[in-house]
C-alpha cells in the first residue's frame, strides 16, 4: 500500500514535471535564444545553453529600436495605452456593473442585453467605421485611438463584476439604506470594498489584454513613433529593416516582462478570479 502510494506519487510528479517542461520550453527557448548570437539561433536552435553569449549585444542593439525609434519609446507607448485604458475601463465597468446588479432603472434589462451582445460582436466588424470615425476626428496615429475603445468599459469586466456583486447578500445594501445611505454611498462604502477581488482580476486581465493587443495598433497607427510594443515587434520581422534576430528575441523577452511580473505578483487573485468566473450558471 505504501509502495503503491509512493509509486503513484512518483508517476504523478514525473508526468506533471515532464508536461511542465514541455509547456515552459517555448519561453525558455525565447530567453536563451535572446542570449545567443544571430547565427547560433538557427544553427544550434534547440539547445538551451548558448555557445556564444551575446546578451549585451542583443539587448542593446534591440533596444536601439527601428528607424530611429528606441524600444523604450515603444514600451512607453504601451504603458500609456495600457494604464489609461485599464484604469478608465475598469472604473467604467465597475460603475456600470453596480448599476446593473443593484439599481432598478428603466431599460436596465435592455442595456444589459446590449452588454452581452457586444461580447459576441468581433471588433473587426467595427474596425472600418471606427477607422473612419477616428480619421474624421484626426485621431489616426494618435494613442487616443488605442485608448478610447477600452476606456469606456468592457462587457467581460461588467459581466464578471455583476456576477460578483450578485453574490453579495442584498441585506448589506438594505442595512446601509436604513442607515440613511443613498445608492452612491452604498456603492462607495459597502459594495466597492467588497468587489475588490473582481476589480483586481479585471485590472490584471485588462492590462495584459491591452498590452498584448495587436490588431488595433496595426490598424490605427502608422508612424513608428507611436507604435506599441506588439506592433514594434512586428517591425523587427521585416528582413529589410532589420535582420537582427538576437535583438528581436531580446526585445520579445523585454515585452513579456511586465506581463509576467504582474502575473507572478497577483497570481493568487488571478487564479481565483478565473476560477470563479466560470462557476456561474
Partner 1 sequence: MKKSISTLLSVILMGSLAMSGCSKNTGSSTEKKVDANAPVKLSITWWGSQSRHDYTNKLLEMYTAKHPNISFQATPSGWSGYFDKLSAQAAGDTMPDIMQMDYSFISTYSKNDTLADLTPYVNDKTINLSDVDTNLVDTGKIDGKLTGLVLASTSLAITYSPEVFKKAGLAVPTSAWTWADFEKDMLQIKAKTGTYGQSKIDDISTFPYWVRQYGTNMYAADGTKLGYDNDKVYIDYVNMLKRLQDAKAMPNPDQWAQISAKGKEAEPVVTGTAGSTMDWANYAVIVSKSNPNLKLVTPPVNSTGTKALWNKPSMFFSVAKSSKNQIEAAKFINWFLNDPEANKVINAERGIPVSSKVRDSLKASLTQQQKDMFDYADISISNSTKAAPPEPAGVAEVTKALTDTINSFLYGKTSATESAADFRTKTNEILGRNK
Partner 2 sequence: MSRKKKALNFGNQNIIGYILIAPWLIGFLIMYLIPMAISIYYSFTKYNLLSAPVFIGFDNFTRMFFHDKSFWKSLRVTFYYVFMLVPLRLIFAFIVAMLLNSKRKFLGVYRAVYYVPSIVGGSVAVSIVWKQIFGNDGVAMSLLSIIGIHQKISFIGNPSTAIWTIISLGVWQFGSAMLIFLAALKQVPKSIYEAAGIDGAGYFTQVFKITIPMLTPVIFFNLILQVINAFKAFTESYIITQGGPLDSTLFYVLNLYRKSFTYFEMGYSSAMAWILVLIIGIFTIILFKSQSAWVHYESKE
Contact of residue 158 among partner 2, partner 1, none (CB under 5-8 Å per partner type):
partner 2
Rounded distance between C-alpha atoms, residue 28 and residue 34, angstroms: 10
User: Which parts of 106-135 interact with partner 1 (CB under 8 A)?
Assistant: 107, 110, 129, 131-133, 135
Nearer CB in complex with partner 2: 127/200: 127
**Which H or E run includes 266?**
none
CB atoms within 10 A of CB 244: 18
Can you read off the three cell numbers belonging to residue 7? 509509486
Contact of residue 239 among partner 2, partner 1, none (CB under 5-8 Å per partner type):
partner 1
Which among 145, 143, 93, 137 has a CA at the least distance from the CA of 119? 93
Q: Which of 14, 185, 223, 267 binds partner 1 (CB under 8 A)?
A: 223
Question: By CB under 8 A, is residue 141 in contact with partner 1?
Answer: yes
Which among 64, 62, 38 has a CA at the least distance from the CA of 51? 38
Nearer CB in complex with partner 2: 196/261: 261
Contact of residue 2 among partner 2, partner 1, none (CB under 5-8 Å per partner type):
none
Nearer CB in complex with partner 2: 116/172: 116
CB of 211 to partner 1, least distance (A): 23
Question: By CB under 8 A, is residue 136 in contact with partner 1?
Answer: yes
CB of 217 to partner 1, least distance (A): 12
Reduce the DSSP state of residue 107 to 3 states and report it.
coil
Contact of residue 240 among partner 1, partner 2, none (CB under 5-8 Å per partner type):
partner 1
Phi, psi for residue 109 in degrees, rounded to 5: -65, -40
Question: By CB under 8 A, is residue 238 in contact with partner 1?
Answer: yes
Can you read off the three cell numbers belonging to residue 135? 480619421
Can you read off the three cell numbers belonging to residue 184? 452612491
Contact of residue 5 among partner 2, partner 1, none (CB under 5-8 Å per partner type):
none
User: Which parts of 17-46 interact with partner 1 (CB under 8 A)?
Assistant: none
Question: By CB under 8 A, is residue 241 in contact with partner 1?
Answer: yes
DSSP 67-95: TTB-HHHHHHHHHHHHHHHHHHHHHHHHH
Q: What is the DSSP letter of 225?
A: G
Decide if 150 contacts 78 (C-beta within 8 A): no
Reduce the DSSP state of residue 169 to 3 states and report it.
coil
Q: Interface with partner 1 by CB under 8 A: which residues?
A: 67-68, 107, 110, 129, 131-133, 135-136, 140-141, 219-220, 222-224, 235, 238-243
Amino acid at each position: 500500500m505504501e509502495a503503491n502510494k509512493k509509486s503513484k506519487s512518483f508517476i504523478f510528479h514525473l508526468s506533471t514535471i515532464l508536461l511542465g517542461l514541455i509547456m515552459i520550453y517555448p519561453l525558455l527557448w525565447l530567453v536563451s535564444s535572446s542570449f545567443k548570437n544571430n547565427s547560433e539561433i538557427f544553427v544550434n536552435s534547440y539547445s538551451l545553453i548558448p555557445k556564444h553569449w551575446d546578451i549585451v549585444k542583443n539587448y542593446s542593439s534591440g533596444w536601439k529600436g527601428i528607424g530611429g525609434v528606441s524600444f523604450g519609446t515603444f514600451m512607453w507607448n504601451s504603458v500609456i495605452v495600457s494604464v489609461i485604458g485599464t484604469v478608465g475601463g475598469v472604473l467604467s465597468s465597475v460603475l456600470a456593473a453596480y448599476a446593473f446588479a443593484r439599481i432598478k432603472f428603466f431599460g436596465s434589462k435592455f442595456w444589459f442585453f446590449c452588454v452581452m451582445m457586444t461580447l459576441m460582436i468581433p471588433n473587426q466588424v467595427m474596425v472600418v467605421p471606427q477607422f473612419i470615425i477616428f480619421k474624421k476626428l484626426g485621431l489616426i496615429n494618435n494613442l487616443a485611438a488605442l485608448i478610447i475603445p477600452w476606456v469606456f468599459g468592457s462587457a467581460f469586466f461588467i459581466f464578471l463584476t455583476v456576477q460578483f456583486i450578485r453574490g453579495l447578500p442584498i441585506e448589506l445594501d438594505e442595512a446601509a439604506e436604513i442607515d440613511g445611505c443613498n445608492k452612491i454611498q452604498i456603492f462607495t462604502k459597502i459594495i466597492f470594498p467588497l468587489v475588490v477581488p473582481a476589480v483586481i482580476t479585471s485590472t490584471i486581465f485588462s492590462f495584459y489584454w491591452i498590452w498584448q493587443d495587436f490588431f488595433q495598433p496595426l490598424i490605427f497607427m502608422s508612424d513608428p513613433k507611436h507604435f506599441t510594443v506588439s506592433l514594434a515587434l512586428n517591425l523587427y520581422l521585416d528582413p529589410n529593416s532589420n535582420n537582427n534576430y538576437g535583438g528581436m528575441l531580446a526585445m520579445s523577452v523585454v515585452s513579456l516582462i511586465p506581463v509576467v511580473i504582474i502575473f507572478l505578483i497577483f497570481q493568487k487573485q488571478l487564479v481565483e478570479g478565473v476560477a470563479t468566473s466560470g462557476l456561474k450558471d
